[in-house]
A and B are shown apart, each in its own frame.
Chain A
């Protein structure tokens, strides 16, 4: 019987079939961050267990760390203790830590592909819902809660129910100025934030095949915003070229064996999915959210829609927009380029390419927060930071920063922000802060114009 890519990722990891669609799955890689990492390690000990496989666990502090230039783990006082505890537990358990300022440090979902911690055909979990990002290399990667994380650390396995399968096919070719971020926002706009609930989503089609690896990570990053715990792309030559030579990638004969195995990781012709959706990539325009849920999104050229119900009205009240007004021209106060969605080198290049020697509007505070220490160093090596600084952006230290604002940094109340992150929830970027999600190029253009603009004409 023809198999889906999901089948090929799932079946080999079944340690025991538990019946009723449940399986005890082997977990090949575990990521820990400062919000949940130390606690999980402590809890394993408190429950009387030890770490099953410390060699498969990787940690990095990213959430509660200041992004201020020259920061240390003490700069944001509230995060200092959790990080110190993480360091201590890491020393006791012997797992790998990529600490602030070290190569390898960064947002978990940026550093894991960057170091080839995640490989095609592997299973990876983290106590973080955007773990689905890592599906971009062709892995089964998903977020879990703290209790499940303790189970994984103690046993290297997880009890999981087989999800249903969905294939989301992007046909055609992306128009110029349109990115992976716009593809996935458009899909969420069409399917809704619960459209993928209960599904594992395979992103397929010529427009996905044409995406560079980093853009596939962006695509998979927002799977959870569509309700899907996991999303992935079949690995191909683009994936292999990206991974080759990275820190934890196999080498020599093991590399050759790996690539041979990875080439089989695609849905067979005739494979049947529980749900199939097709979107013509050629029809997608740059997207921007107008509300407080990622599904409240529209092409930038559209007007703010008339509310379809009380939830839409509440969103408009919070975001301070009126139904029927043009999105283009809405004044912007803040711009944030960063987060595990869009903080990789290619994202920073996209944003920098928009600047062309122009300046950020005087009333706009604009930040670039590279996703990892490596991204930061590579961007500096090619002079991107200088372009951002000359334009009037702040060039900051890697971490989650204004994506979740648990590090003492936030957008002030009532201020409007264009952000390359993934959640525009009420209060996500600060109490009363108004967030519009968009691509890095759209965010850069908004910073220059001081207003929402269509990057294609800017």
Chain B
């Protein structure tokens, strides 16, 4: 996984509440799909008109935000399904960081698994970043510094954020969680042996 340290770019505004994973990518697009190439389906219902042409009103179709690595969201961003395809699709669009007042739990966890940083900021702060960006989108850059845990707004204001220390170091170092857990294999096997004795009923009748 790529390490995440600092990301800078124009912050694309998508401030409505309850952006769910069905809006980010419908489940139909994920039948048999892999992790790559899903960007073309990201927000497709909003990005494209019925005839396939681009909807110019959608922020991610507007010039300064097309290559934006940061997306500003509303309350409960990424609620709904567990589909990690939602994160893969947004990553494929070039996004690396989401800033919103709150996130759906599973989406939030899926971000870290893919080297993406979800940042929780107060709604007023998110709004302010959007306003400062809108004032001159082509050169109003927002930076998200994970090392120092601050968001630097286009006007240079620093807003601290907190992220779980464990997830922070995993992102900074690009750690592979499976490899980490594998180092504890003996502990896991010992737990299972103990549990089998303590809770035989949880293991009975499962022999293949």
A residues with a Cβ closer than 8 A to B are 12, 15-16, 18-20, 22, 24, 26, 28, 35, 39, 47, 49, 52, 54-56, 63-64, 78-79, 81-82, 85, 94, 96, 119, 121-122, 127-129, 131, 143-148, 150-151, 154-157, 159, 161, 163, 193-194, 197-198, 224, 227-229, 248-251, 254-255, 257-258, 261, 293, 310-311, 404-406, 423, 425-428
Contacts and interface: CB of A to CB of B under 8 A. Distances in A.
A145 B76 contact: no
A423 B80 contact: yes
B93 interface: no
A168 to B, nearest CB: 17
A423 to B, nearest CB: 7
B82 A143 contact: yes
Given A129-B80, A248-B206, A155 B18 contact: no
B187 A15 contact: yes
A146 B178 contact: no
A147 B110 contact: yes
B195 interface: yes
A94 B208 contact: yes
B80 A425 contact: yes
A215 B90 CA distance: 37
A24 B184 contact: yes
Interface stretch (B3-11, B62-70, B100-108, B122-130): B100-108
B204 interface: yes
Q: Which 3 A-B pairs have the closest CB atoms?
A: A258-B201, A147-B113, A145-B84
B164 A161 contact: yes
Interface stretch (B25-33, B52-60, B141-149, B152-160): B25-33
B76 A119 contact: no
Contact of B188 (A19, A144, A157): A157
A161 B103 CA distance: 15
Nearest to A295: B18
B20 A129 contact: no
A148 B35 CA distance: 14
A64 B31 CA distance: 7
B76 A194 contact: yes
A425 B22 contact: yes
A120 B34 CA distance: 34
A159 B177 contact: yes
Contacts of A311: 16-18
Given A193-B79, A310-B16, A427-B26, A148 B191 contact: no
Given A155-B181, A193-B76, A254 B206 contact: no
B204 A194 contact: no
Contact of B192 (A18, A26, A255): A26
A293 B187 CA distance: 44
A258 B23 CA distance: 43
A404 B102 CA distance: 25
A146 B84 contact: yes
Nearest to A126: B82
Q: Which of B166, B184, B200, B206 has its CB near the most chain A CB atoms (within 10 A)? A: B206
Contact of B22 (A147, A148, A423): A423
A16 B184 contact: yes
A128 B202 contact: no
17 contacts: A15-B188, A24-B184, A54-B208, A121-B202, A145-B87, A148-B109, A155-B181, A193-B79, A197-B79, A198-B105, A248-B205, A248-B206, A250-B205, A254-B204, A261-B199, A261-B201, A425-B23
A20 B165 contact: yes
Contacts, number: 180
Nearest to A144: B82
Contacts of A426: 22-23, 45
A229 B202 CA distance: 23
A63 B106 CA distance: 20
A428 B22 contact: yes
Nearest to A404: B27
Contacts of A228: 105
A78 B29 CA distance: 11
Contact of B199 (A121, A161, A198, A251): A121
Nearest to A257: B201
Nearest to B22: A425
Given A194-B76, A227-B76, A261-B201, 8 more contacts: A22-B166, A47-B178, A127-B82, A157-B184, A193-B76, A194-B102, A250-B200, A425-B22
Nearest to A123: B202
B136 to A, nearest CB: 25
B181 A24 contact: yes
A427 B208 contact: no
Contacts of B135: none
A275 to B, nearest CB: 15
B205 to A, nearest CB: 6
A217 to B, nearest CB: 18
Contacts of A197: 76, 79, 102-105
Contact of B181 (A94, A157, A405): A157
Contacts of A19: 166
A428 B207 CA distance: 39
Contacts of A428: 22
A78 B31 contact: yes
Nearest to B199: A261
Contacts of B165: 20
Q: Which of A146, A156, A406 has its CB near the most chain B CB atoms (within 10 A)? A: A146
A47 B87 CA distance: 20
B83 to A, nearest CB: 8
Contacts of B16: 310-311
B109 A227 contact: no
A155 B208 contact: no
Contacts of A425: 20, 22-23, 80
A30 B18 CA distance: 29
B139 interface: no
Contacts of A22: 164, 166
